[in-house]
């Protein structure tokens, strides 16, 4: 296989941009939100936080919470015909 050049943030200039009103302080209510197993969540990267970020391909997808690992949640998604599990910080998730 070909070796990737750069990081997993490449080609995300417009995908990760925030609106002018949402820039600035990190919303703590979103940072500490809680989920339970079986919750449906939308995956949307919050550009201000790098912790627990997922690969840009999954941006905008919907998944199901299936567990917790530390401060991150385990989310299962369907990518093509495969089921994948991601460990995502709650600031990048919304119900």
Does residue 10 sit within a domain? no
Pick from 86, 61, 67, 68: nearest CA to 76: 86
Report how many domains make up the chain. 1
Does residue 15 sit within a domain? no
CATH of the domain at 72: 2.30.30.70
State how far the Cα of 64 lies from the Cα of 70, in Å rounded to an integer.
17
Does residue 13 sit within a domain? no
Contact between 43 and 61 under an 8 Å Cβ cutoff? The reply is yes
pTM value is 0.86
Domain carrying residue 52: 20-94
Per-residue pLDDT of the chain (95 residues; tens, 9 = 90+): 788 788 888 888 888 888 888 888 888 999 999 999 999 999 999 988 889 999 999 999 999 999 999 999 999 999 999 999 999 999 999 99
Does residue 6 sit within a domain? no
Confidence (pLDDT) at 36: 96
Does residue 59 sit within a domain? yes
Does residue 9 sit within a domain? no
Contact between 84 and 77 under an 8 Å Cβ cutoff? The reply is yes
């Amino acid at each position: 296989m070909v070796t990737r050049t750069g990081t997993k943030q490449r080609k995300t200039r417009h995908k990760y941009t925030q609106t002018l009103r949402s820039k600035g302080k990190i919303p703590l209510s979103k940072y500490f939100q809680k989920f339970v197993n079986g919750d449906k969540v939308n995956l949307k990267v919050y550009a201000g936080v790098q912790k627990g970020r997922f690969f840009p391909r999954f941006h905008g997808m919907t998944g199901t919470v299936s567990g917790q690992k530390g401060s991150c949640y385990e989310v299962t998604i369907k990518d093509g015909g495969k089921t994948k599990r991601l460990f995502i910080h709650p600031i990048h998730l919304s119900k």
